[in-house]
Amino acid sequence: MAQVSLEGIRKVYPNGFQAVQTTSFTIQDGEFVVLVGPSGCGKSTLLRMIAGLEEITEGTLKIGDRVVNDVDPADRDIAMVFQNYALYPHMTVRKNIGYGLKNRGNPASEIAAKVEDAAKMLNLTEYLDRKPAQLSGGQRQRVAMGRAVVRDPALFLFDEPLSNLDAKLRNQMRIEIKALQRRLGTTAVYVTHDQVEAMTMADRIIVLNAGRIEQIGTPSEIYHNPASTFVASFMGAPPMNLIRAQVEQGEVRINGYDGLMPAPASQNGPVTLGIRPEDVVLDDHGNIPFRVDILEELGAHRLLHGVVGEQPFSVMIGKDDAASTGTATLNLKPEALRLFDPETGRKL
Amino acid sequence: MAETTLETPVETHRPRRIKWGAIGDHTVLILGALLMMIPPLLALTTASHDAVTIHREGLQLTLGDNLGKNFHAAMFEKGGFTQTVDGTLMLMNSFILGIGFAVGKIIISMMAAYAIVYFRLRFATLAFWVIFTTLLLPLEVRILPSYEAIQKLGLTNTYTGLIVPLIASATGTFFFRQFFMSVPEELAEAARIDGAGPWKFFVDILVPLSRTMIAAIFIIMFVFGWNQYLWPTLITTDESFFTLVRGIKQIVLSYTDSQIPEHGQALALAIVAMIPPVAIVVFFQNWFVKGLTESDK
């Protein structure tokens, strides 16, 4: 168990590419933190720096009370689960799980007992003598987990561990990993590009973009109060509607439409207006005209895609609500409106 | 559930069409096989006659009654100038050369490839290409300096002198490099986190993963080493270091005191010299194909 703190961590590759800009944050003991962002945003680099697989260009990394910048990965008391599992193909499941313990000189009887325990926890007992090639994707994933769990490390690192699984298995493993982490109480850092994974698993999410932290917060904070238009459009499916608007005398005016509504910000001038599709109400007496082009059936609800004042806009309605393509009018929930700076994309 | 009945397909007896293509293929293959088989067969049949017959009538197509005698003489009768060397000793020398050559090449080239692929050496790529260009310098090209060096080191007429100068292998390094580069990087990283140092990773992970490659390269190199002629001829003058491949000629020249060369025994020895490489290829061909075509990563 340990707290992990990054102080001014930065990564510049020898070719001059800055993969991670100066970042600082602290992960609390026992916390499940998800690093999320599009590919190339530096999330994996950040994780690999914590693992010790990538050198830290600048800054201080602490696991527990120890500065580990120059500590070998083997001595950082961490365990990592890789995207392609990285199981040793020629070893049985038993040996795969026990390899780390064996290298650390644990007595054979102790290794055997710990491997049995880990296998039991992950329902792998009957597969202990198989080789990875004889296992299904989900089972291999479990073996990779077992290899991490068996060492009882201070910190789990997950590098997109579920992206090689099919959707159904992914949902199941998501819950299993989360439950396991809860039970063991081990601090975990989890990297993914899948915002659903981030939302469902994290205690706290760190959203990264282009090597920079966009926002750190709980899933609910990130969802309801995105710090930037990037976070607003990246997190949540369907993404937040972002449309150009004007603030004049404390009221928001949507471009191309004259209907005014009260604005929570006092600033005048152009803004980007954000609102989640579920915070929009179709209303025959609404004051914003909405042209519905496409009706998307999602089962639990329906999604209407169309335009408001020549800007793309989507609205989520319940599965039983009537809807058709064509013109409609809608109302926005004023408390759900978010305003962003149109230049920087930051929250106002 | 809809009921489905499995109907046995009605067998239609059509007159079998003659597949001329297949017949053509097989003809070519059979002719090729025969062409390859005839010389060893001739050697076998001829080896079953006594020296006089062979000397008078040339190669024999029928089996004579001296087969056992010739083989026995070739293998166990002391011969040569010194009257100390027999077929079994030469067989052993050949095995020492073949196995030493193959094992040495595998060890050296695996370690070279390991260094090139897994360590951030400053000039790794350059080093690889330097090793690779030695393919342009086979032993025949550098035989004089090689001989000079071995002779100065006093390694003539030793197994060391016989094997070590041939051990550096660009081919092996190249094969292992390609293989190591195809091993997922995460495996090395996982091993690092699991506390395996460079040596442990090599021994515990890379070597077992490469076993089919090792087998394939062993076969190639064993046969190559077994068939070495020029280098052993140069480096060994002491008959007790003679290998089979070079010993055969020696028999014809000086194996016995009689005026008639013992062709029967020479051919018997030639057959003995052929067996181990063939046996290795036959027994290990599965590994060989696996090593060159697939890998269980």
Q: Is residue A347 part of a domain?
A: no
What are the Cα distances from residue A125, in Å, to A86, A135, B259? 20, 13, 77
**Are A64 and A206 within one domain?**
yes
SS (H, E, C) chain B: CCCCCCCCCCCCCCCCCCCHHHHHHHHHHHHHHHHHHHHHHHHHHHCCCCHHHHHHHCCCCCCCCCHHHHHHHHHHCCECCCCCECHHHHHHHHHHHHHHHHHHHHHHHHHHHHHHHHCCCCCHHHHHHHHHHHHHCCCCCCHHHHHHHHHHCCCCCCHHHHHHHHCCCHHHHHHHHHHHHHCCHHHHHHHHHCCCCHHHHHHHHHHHHCHHHHHHHHHHHHHHHHCCCHHHHHHCCCHHHCCHHHHHHHHHHHCCCCCCCCHHHHHHHHHHHHHHHHHHHHHHHHHHHHHHHCCCC
**Are A278 and A295 within one domain?**
yes
Q: Enumerate the residues of chain B whose CB falls inside 8 A of the CB of residue A88.
A: 187, 190-191, 204-205
Do residues A321 and A282 make contact, with C-beta atoms less than 8 angstroms apart? yes
**Are A40 and A124 within one domain?**
yes
pLDDT above 70: residue B296:
no
Does residue A51 belong to the interface with chain B, where contact is any CB pair within 8 Å?
A: yes
pLDDT of residue A199: 92
Q: Enumerate the residues of chain A whose CB falls inside 8 A of the CB of residue B205.
A: 88, 90
What are the Cα distances from residue B267, in Å, to A271, B250, B272? 97, 12, 9
**Are A40 and A143 within one domain?**
yes
Q: Is residue A345 part of a domain?
A: no
Q: Number of structural domains, chain A? A: 2
Strand ranges in chain A using DSSP code E only, listed in sequence order: 4-12, 18-27, 32-36, 58-63, 66-67, 78-81, 155-159, 187-192, 204-209, 212-217, 241-248, 251-254, 260-262, 269-275, 280-282, 288-297, 301-308, 311-318, 326-332, 338-340
Do residues A321 and A302 make contact, with C-beta atoms less than 8 angstroms apart? yes
**Are A162 and A211 within one domain?**
yes
Contact state of A86 with B296 under an 8 Å Cβ cutoff: no
Q: Which of A217, A234, A251 is the last residue of a domain?
A: A234
Does residue B190 belong to the interface with chain A, where contact is any CB pair within 8 Å?
A: yes
**Are A281 and A229 within one domain?**
no
**Are A179 and A260 within one domain?**
no
Selected residue with higher pLDDT from A123 and B11: A123
When computed from its CA atoms, the radius of gyration of chain A, rounded to whole angstroms, is 24
Which residue from B190, B196, B296 is facing A133, i.e. has the nearest CB? B296
Q: Which of A207, A234, A261 is the last residue of a domain?
A: A234
Does residue A163 belong to the interface with chain B, where contact is any CB pair within 8 Å?
A: no
**Are A192 and A270 within one domain?**
no
Q: Please, what is the average pLDDT of chain A?
A: 89
Q: What is the ipTM of this complex?
A: 0.84
Please state whether the peptide bond connecting residue A238 to the residue before it is cis, i.e. omega within 30 degrees of 0. yes
Quote the tokens at residue B285: 């061909």
Does residue A55 belong to the interface with chain B, where contact is any CB pair within 8 Å?
A: no
**Are A273 and A215 within one domain?**
no
**Are A22 and A48 within one domain?**
yes
Does residue A100 belong to the interface with chain B, where contact is any CB pair within 8 Å?
A: yes
Q: What average pLDDT score do residues B201-217 get?
A: 91
**pLDDT 10s digits, A222-251:** 999 999 999 999 998 889 999 888 887 777
pLDDT of residue A263: 61
**Alpha-carbon distance B185 to nearest alpha carbon in chain A (angstroms):** 9
Contact state of A84 with B200 under an 8 Å Cβ cutoff: no
pLDDT above 60: residue A45:
yes
pLDDT above 60: residue B208:
yes
**Are A187 and A67 within one domain?**
yes
Domain span including residue A228: 4-234
Domain map (residue ranges) of chain B: 87-293
pLDDT above 60: residue B148:
yes
pLDDT of residue B1: 42
β-strand A241-248 against A251-254: which pairing, if any?
A: antiparallel
**pLDDT 10s digits, B37-94:** 998 888 888 888 887 787 778 787 888 787 888 888 878 877 666 667 788 888 899 9
Cβ within 8 Å of B, A 110-139 = 133
Q: Is residue A196 part of a domain?
A: yes
Banded pLDDT at A323 (limits 50, 70, 90): confident
pLDDT of residue B251: 66
Beta bridge partners of A34: A190, A205
**Alpha-carbon distance B181 to nearest alpha carbon in chain A (angstroms):** 15
Selected residue with higher pLDDT from B4 and A231: A231
pLDDT of residue B2: 46
Selected residue with higher pLDDT from A201 and B238: A201
Q: Enumerate the residues of chain A whose CB falls inside 8 A of the CB of residue B189.
A: 51, 53, 73, 80, 82, 86
Q: What is the CATH number of the domain that holds A263?
A: 2.40.50.140
Does residue B204 belong to the interface with chain A, where contact is any CB pair within 8 Å?
A: yes
Banded pLDDT at B103 (limits 50, 70, 90): very high
**Alpha-carbon distance A73 to nearest alpha carbon in chain B (angstroms):** 5
Q: What average pLDDT score do residues B25-37 get?
A: 94
Mutate to test the interface with B, among A55, A77, A103, A147 (most CBs of B within 10 A): A103
Q: Which of A181, A210, A234 is the last residue of a domain?
A: A234
**Are A256 and A223 within one domain?**
no
Banded pLDDT at B293 (limits 50, 70, 90): low
Banded pLDDT at B125 (limits 50, 70, 90): confident
Which residue from B187, B189, B195 is facing A88, i.e. has the nearest CB? B187
As assigned by CATH, the class of the B87-293 domain is mainly alpha
pLDDT above 50: residue A73:
yes
